[in-house]
Structure 1
Amino acid sequence: MIIFLLKRLLQAVVVMFIISLIGFTIKDSLGDPVREMVGESVSEEEREALREKLGLNDPFIVQYGRFLKGAVQGDLGQSYFYKKPVTDVILSKLPATLELVFGATLIIIFFSVPLGVYCAIKPRSWLTKFIMGASIVGISVPVFLTGIFLMFIFGVILDYLPVFGRGELISVWGPWETGLFTLDGLAHLILPSITLSSLMLPLFIRLIRSEMTEVLHSEYIKFAWAKGLDKYRIWFRLALKNTMLPVITVGGVQIGTMVAYTILTETVFQWPGMGFMFLEAINRSDTPLIIGYLVFVGLIFVITNTLVDLIYGFIDPTIKVAGGK
């Protein structure tokens, strides 16, 4: 276990290095941050003085070295627009994004497991054909179209649910505010969560169906039928347990992916999370915030993948997470 964690730590360092290097490589093509900060009326001499003050005229290797030195100490730089440390800006937007991912994850788990299992157990039923057909449609429709459709139906025509913002928030821990404990906050969360889940829900239904079907045709399941075991015990205690092993692996990775996928959903619903912040940073050429976001999302990927491997090892003790025999 210690060897595994050390390997993961080394991989994390390499991943963070590559992401930050890519971010610094493309940052000059994202626009001139000085122009966004001062506008058109400021003279070229004043702009040049500001570039010098911000260190934008320094060679690439000097700027990158300065960033790495600060990043090791937890300092990702200063946001040009917010005039605050990048870490503080990201952490202030993080609760909104985590709420959205949490809501979408609950929807995916609640619907994908029973629907996927049903489709495997009853492969020829009309409901299975409908579910599989609907999953193809769900995979094909872009997330922003799903969001706009839901907004139009439930927000404009029916006027049942709010279509932008987070609603009423309460403080739960210092600056951490959430809408999960207010009715208005939950109402604002419904449509964005459904929209974000539409990316992964069809994939998980098809994945669970495929894995469950394969397990149901395995030899030990045939042996269980031959012994006369109860069908529910075979389906839910034997088959489902082994079905969920690869699903957990894929699921953990996809949950990390959803943090990055929130960009479109947050934009459509004006959800004030990290994805919406990232697009605003690009429009404003706020390069420290752009690079900080990329590094932070990369770190989330590393952490989620590591946790998935650990959970996988606990569920199936025959697997050695450290690579041992």
Structure 2
Amino acid sequence: MGRYLVRRLLLLVPVVLGAATIAFALVLLLPGDPAIALLGQEVSGSELARFRHLLGLDRPIPIQLGLYFLRMARGDFGTSVTLHTPVLGLISSTLPATLELAVASLVLAVGCGIPLGVFAARRRGRFPDTLAMLVAQLGVSVPVFWLGILLILLFAVKLNWLPSFGRGVPLIAAIATGNLTGLTDSFRHLLLPAVTLAFFNLALLSRVTRWALLEVLEEDYVRTARAKGQRERVVLTRHALRNALLPVVTIVGLQFGSALGGAVVTETIYGWPGMGRLVVQAIGQRDFPVVQGAVLVLALLFSLVNGVVDVLYAFIDPRIRYE
């Protein structure tokens, strides 16, 4: 296991380099001159040349890429050209909000999706199974932006139960200080964005859980356990569910990674001050250092999540051997 962990860590190096190269290339492929976009069309030629030199845009692309790698290796993500703030500071101030939203949505998706899939599998072909799969089909079909707007109209505008914008008190800070008022405020602001982001993942997770569990329930060792007279609950939890978790864990890992970088729409709808919203604003303002830094951090987090998922396989299924 130790050698496997070392190999996984070493594999992060080319992944991060590839992500950094893609982020660098995407910025180059965006239309227009970033210097003109930032300074305006009326800027003088000398001022434009000075600004391009400041950004390093007047150098050959291979040199720009090499300097970019060197800065990343030193932890220097550059400075935002619009906010005049270090990019690393912007990322560190918005990443906790994105992690909070991603974890909350994942807890909702796992806490509801897996039981729903198990419930449907145990009642295969009956009305509860059909109803559960209809809910799952609805979840994978409804656009995120439409669901977010619908929830805002219902719970914020019509019923006035929950806020529709902003983050409120950070959840970890409220828990650490024992601030019950702040904790309530945090949950009130977090609920709608988390439900919006979790709905698709919940639906997908329930379908995968149902499919995986039905496959396992047809295995010979499950029939043997039933033939020995074991109760159905014991057969389900001890023999079937654990072996059905491999594809489920894979989906959960992918969902958490995608929630980190794919919460752009949700964060924009609810004004959630996370990295997705930061990237959208940076793209609109052509703030390339922010875009590059955010893409690199998200790629690194996604790779770490996938590595954790791979390690979990060994604990779920003893048949898997890494050495």
TM-score normalised by length of structure 2 = 0.92
Residues paired across the two proteins, number: 318
Instruction: Tell me if the contact between 1:167 and 1:179 (Cα under 8 Å) persists in the aligned partners.
Output: no
Q: 2:270 matched to which residue of 1?
A: 269
- Is 1:23 the counterpart of 2:23? The answer is yes
Which residue identity lines up with residue 63 of structure 1 in the other structure? Q
Q: What does 1:192-231 correspond to in 2, within 5 Å?
A: 192-231=193-232
Per the TM alignment, residue 40 of structure 1 is displaced from its structure 2 partner at its CA by 4.5
1:44 Cα offset (Å): 2.9
- Retained in 2: the 8 A contact 1:23–1:291? yes
Q: What pairs with 1:50-89 in structure 2 (closer than 5 Å)? A: 50-89=51-90
After superposition, what is the alpha-carbon deviation per residue over 1:77-132, rounded to whole angstroms, capped at 9, x for unaligned? Answer: 22212222222211110011011011101111111121110100011332221110
Aligned-residue offset at 1:19 = 1.7
Q: Which residue identity lines up with residue 55 of structure 1 in the other structure?
A: G
Percent of residue pairs identical: 37
Deviation of residue 171 (structure 1)? 7.6
Deviation at 1:36, TM superposition (A): 4.3
Match in the other structure for 1:314: 315
Could you state the TM-score of these two structures normalised by the residue count of structure 1? 0.92
- The amino acid across from 1:73 in the alignment is R
2:290 maps to 289
Where structure 1 has 5 or more consecutive residues not aligned to the other structure, the ranges are: none
Q: Do 1:266 and 1:276's aligned partners in 2 also have CA atoms closer than 8 Å?
A: yes
Q: Please state whether the residue corresponding to 2:263 is helix, strand or coil.
A: helix
Which amino acid letter does the alignment assign opposite residue 70 of structure 1? Answer: R
- Secondary structure of residue in 1 paired with 2:76: coil
Structure 1 pair 171/253, CA: closer, same or farther in 2 (3 Å)? closer
Residues 104 and 170 of structure 1, relative CA distance in 2, 3 Å threshold? closer
Paired with 2:132 and 2:228, the residues of 1 have a C-alpha distance of: 32
User: Relative to structure 1, is the Cα distance of residues 297 and 171 closer, same or farther in structure 2, using a 3 angstrom cutoff?
Assistant: closer
1:82 and 1:135 map into 2 onto residues whose CA distance is 43
What is the CA-CA distance between 1:152 and the residue it aligns to? 1.0
Does the alignment pair 1:145 with 2:123?
A: no
Q: Residue 47 of structure 2 corresponds to which residue in structure 1?
A: 46
| Aligned equivalent of 2:236 | 235
- Give the aligned residue type for 1:275: G
How much has 1:172 moved relative to structure 2?
3.5
CA contact (8 A) 1:248 1:308 kept: yes
SS at match of 1:25: helix
Aligned to 1:111: 112
Unaligned stretches of 5+ residues in structure 2: none
**1:315 deviation in Å?**
2.6
Distance in 1, Cα, partners of 2:26 & 2:225: 58
Amino acid at match of 1:59: P
Amino acid at match of 1:209: R
Partner SS for 1:182 = helix
Change (3 A) 1:59 1:215: same
In 2, Cα distance between the equivalents of 1:228 and 1:204?
Answer: 31
1:189 aligns with 2:186: no
Q: Is the 8 A contact 2:253 2:306 kept in 1?
A: yes
Which piece of structure 1 moves more, 308-317 or 186-195? 308-317
Match of residue 7 from structure 2: 7
Matches of 2:314 and 2:3 in 1, distance apart? Answer: 14
Contact 1:196–1:265 (CA under 8 A) maintained in structure 2: yes
Distance between the aligned counterparts of 2:238 and 2:5, measured in 1? 31
Partner letter of residue 6 of structure 2?
L
**Whole-Å separation in 1 of the counterparts to 2:182 and 2:5:** 36
Between 1:44-53 and 1:95-104, the stretch displaced more is: 44-53
Kindly provide the CA deviation profile for residues 126-183 of structure 1, in whole angstroms up to 9, marking residues without a partner as x. 222111012112111111111111111111111111111002347849xxxx999521
Question: 1:292, 1:10 → 2: CA distance?
Answer: 21
Shift of 1:10: 3.0
8 Å Cα contact 2:145-2:266 kept in structure 1:
yes
> How far apart are the structure 1 equivalents of 2:228 and 2:182?
49
